[in-house]
């Protein structure tokens, strides 16, 4: 009701001014009551269940009202320090919005060193961070830092299925990795694609589009390559919410609040087990 009154009484300029004042007040409240630094972040994530020997795939959003006292790069540095020299930090750096099919139809050249990540500022800062490696795949390139980084990204260009066998996602699962959602919802779970690849012969619909693309790409050394790849079926609507609901029911999702930030943590093994059980029961996590 208040919003309706404001919309009727104030013009556009006045609405923007009011919104700016509200945001300033909100920011002051957050900085007073919910502020936290990198050390507290690392301590809280350790308490959530992340160890320095873990391989962690992070989906993150940098919210101005999160309470974190630092920049997106400071956030990335804290996450990298958390796994240290004994673990691995991964992020996905998809270079498009929309479907992979539509992106590849545009026939753009993917450059492992220059093509920006379209998955948020945190991933882009991680991509630019010294020591970060990026796999060579035009649709689902993975960023990696840590003791197994070279192995994790190696050979992605040879995978006909971006999230399938031999991909960084497959290797991540073999390391019994963990997935952290930092100020993003469970729906951001790219690992979903790896599990559906594992189960593609056990569902009554096509996971992949039939077209096989040939894509030009430039590797980290500046050499041009041609990558063969299938893409996920754009007509199939994934519903990660169904998977999340079942994992919550089973107590497989750990939650934490750090300042004004919300975090979720799951294991790759639990995601695979839960997704598989749903498919076997005919309760597919898709809008079908």
Domain containing residue 22: 1-33
Residue 287 inside a domain? The answer is no
pLDDT tens sequence across 206-263: 999 999 999 999 999 999 999 999 999 999 999 999 999 999 999 999 999 999 999 9
| Residue 288 covered by a domain | no
Determine the Cα–Cα distance for residues 182 and 197; give it in Å rounded to an integer: 25
DSSP character string of 125-142? HHHHSTT-EE---SSS-E
Contact yes or no for 67/34 (Cβ under 8 A): yes
Residues 40 and 172 in one domain: yes
Residues 50 and 150 in one domain: yes
Each residue's pLDDT tens digit, 43-81: 999 999 999 999 999 999 998 899 999 999 999 999 999
Q: Rounded distance, CA 22 to CA 284, Å? A: 43
The pLDDT assigned to 3 comes to: 58
287: pLDDT strictly greater than 90: no
Q: 45 and 13: one domain?
A: no
Ranges of H-type helices in the chain: 2-9, 12-33, 38-48, 72-83, 100-105, 121-128, 149-153, 168-174, 191-198, 240-249, 268-280
Residue 277 has pLDDT above 70, yes or no: yes
Q: Do both 110 and 14 map to the same domain?
A: no
Determine, yes or no, domain membership for 269: yes
Distance CA(58)–CA(20), nearest Å, equals 31
- pLDDT digits over 7-23, tens only? 665 667 765 655 555 45
184-218 in b/e form (b: 16+ CB < 10 A) is: bebebbbbbbbbbbbbeeebeeebbbeeebebebb
Q: Are the C-beta atoms of 127 and 143 separated by less than 8 Å?
A: yes
Q: How far apart are CA 211 and CA 15, in angstroms?
A: 49
Structural domain includes residue 285:
no
What mean pLDDT comes out for the span 143-172?
Answer: 98
Q: Give the pLDDT of residue 34.
A: 77
For the chain, how many structural domains are there in total? 2
Q: How far apart are CA 184 and CA 58, in angstroms?
A: 10
Task: Classify 36 as helix, strand or coil.
Answer: strand
> Are 6 and 129 within one domain?
no
Pairing of strands 110-111, 208-218: parallel
CA–CA distance, 64 with 56 (Å, rounded to integer):
24
239 to 99, 148, 246, 273: CA distances (angstroms): 15, 32, 12, 17
Domain co-membership, 153 together with 266: yes
For residue 2, pLDDT beyond 50: no
More confident site: 185 or 27: 185
Q: Give this prediction's pTM.
A: 0.89
Check whether residue 131 and residue 151 sit in a common domain: yes
pLDDT digits (tens, 9 = 90+) for 159-218: 999 999 999 999 999 999 999 999 999 999 999 999 999 999 999 999 999 999 999 999
Closest CA to 181 of 250, 247, 233: 247
List the beta bridge partners of residue 214: 228
Cα gap 160→147, rounded to integer Å: 26
């Amino acid at each position: 009701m208040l919003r309706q009154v404001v919309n009727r009484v104030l013009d556009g300029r006045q609405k923007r001014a009011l919104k700016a004042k509200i945001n300033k007040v909100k920011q002051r409240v957050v900085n007073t009551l919910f502020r936290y630094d990198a050390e507290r972040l690392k301590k809280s994530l350790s308490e959530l269940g992340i160890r320095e020997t873990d391989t962690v795939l992070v989906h993150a959003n940098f919210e101005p009202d999160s309470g974190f006292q630092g920049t997106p790069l400071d956030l990335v540095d804290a996450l990298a320090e958390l796994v240290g020299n004994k673990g691995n930090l991964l992020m996905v750096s998809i270079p498009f919005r929309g479907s992979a099919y539509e992106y590849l139809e545009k026939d753009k050249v993917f450059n492992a060193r220059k093509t920006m990540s379209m998955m948020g500022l945190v991933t882009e800062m991680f991509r630019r961070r010294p020591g970060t490696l990026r796999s060579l795949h035009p649709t689902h390139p993975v960023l990696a830092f840590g003791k197994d980084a070279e192995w994790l990204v190696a050979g992605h260009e040879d995978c006909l299925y971006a999230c399938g066998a031999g991909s960084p996602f497959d290797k991540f699962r073999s390391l019994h990795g963990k997935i952290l959602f930092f100020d993003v919802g469970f729906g951001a779970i790219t690992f979903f694609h790896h599990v559906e690849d594992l189960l593609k012969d056990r569902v009554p619909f096509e996971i992949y589009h039939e077209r096989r693309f040939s894509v030009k790409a430039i590797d980290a050394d500046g050499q041009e390559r041609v990558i063969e790849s299938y893409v996920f079926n754009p007509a199939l609507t994934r519903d990660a919410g169904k998977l999340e609901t079942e994992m919550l029911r089973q107590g497989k999702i750990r939650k934490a609040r750090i300042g004004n930030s919300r975090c979720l943590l799951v294991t790759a093994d639990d995601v695979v087990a839960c997704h598989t059980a749903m498919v076997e029961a005919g309760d597919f996590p898709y809008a079908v």
